[in-house]
Amino acid sequence: MNAQINLRALGSSFLSTHHRCFAAALGGPFTHIATVPSTRGRRGQHPLYTILAGGVRLPHVLATANDRYPADDRQFHPDRFAVDSHSLDGVPRVLVIDDTWTTGARVQSLAFALKAAGAVKVGAVVLGRHVNPADGVRYEHYRLFNERLRKAPEFDESRCSMGDAGGEGLAGGGLVVED
């Protein structure tokens, strides 16, 4: 529960601090929100959407995963996700949120599907992820990473990953997905 509250606070704070940066890059504010569908058989609403829905009052674009591709597939596939084009109206600028970024292929694949369904611009924010203490070696990796984050004096969520400061450092992460 605390993790959800923390994520909601982080998401709301990041989006309110940087929504103008996105609007400048996208030619206007976000009009819709989409979450990357789970490829691990999770059903129903994406937890991140549930967590953020109260703070981000945008219509949710529904997308479904093509089960031809396994969860650990790290390649871009134009047909990896399908988007219901009826949920995109007007001049859609879509905020994509996800909790995982490895190669970016999942977000890029969803951005492709959104554009094919009528989105004019797509911006992505990778918010955070839950780490399972039972996850052995990987948990140890995250524990060390978290320790580094806590100690890092340069952490500053007001730093923009899209502005002149570039993508360096431990700032919040947002990006505009280009064509």
Residue 116 DSSP one-character state: H
Among positions 10, 21, 82, 116, the unique one binding Zn ion when judged by CB under 5 A: 21
Q: Which of residues 160-179 bind Zn ion (CB under 5 A)?
A: 160
d(CA 119, CA 97): 15
Closest CB 70 distance from Zn ion, rounded Å: 35
- Quick check: 18 binds Zn ion (CB under 5 A)? yes
Q: Which of residues 123-162 bind Zn ion (CB under 5 A)?
A: 160
| CB-based burial label for 44 (10 Å; 0-12, 13-18, 19+) | exposed
Q: Indicate the pairing of strand 32-35 with strand 93-98.
A: parallel
Stretch that binds Zn ion, among 10-18, 45-53, 112-120, 127-135 (CB under 5 A): 10-18
Stretch that binds Zn ion, among 20-28, 44-52, 56-64, 148-156 (CB under 5 A): 20-28
Q: What share of the chain is helix, strand, coil (3-state, %, to 5)?
A: 35, 15, 50
- DSSP 3-state of 20: helix
Closest CB 73 distance from Zn ion, rounded Å: 31
Closest CB 123 distance from Zn ion, rounded Å: 11
Query: Which residues here bind Zn ion, judged by CB under 5 A?
Result: 18, 21, 160
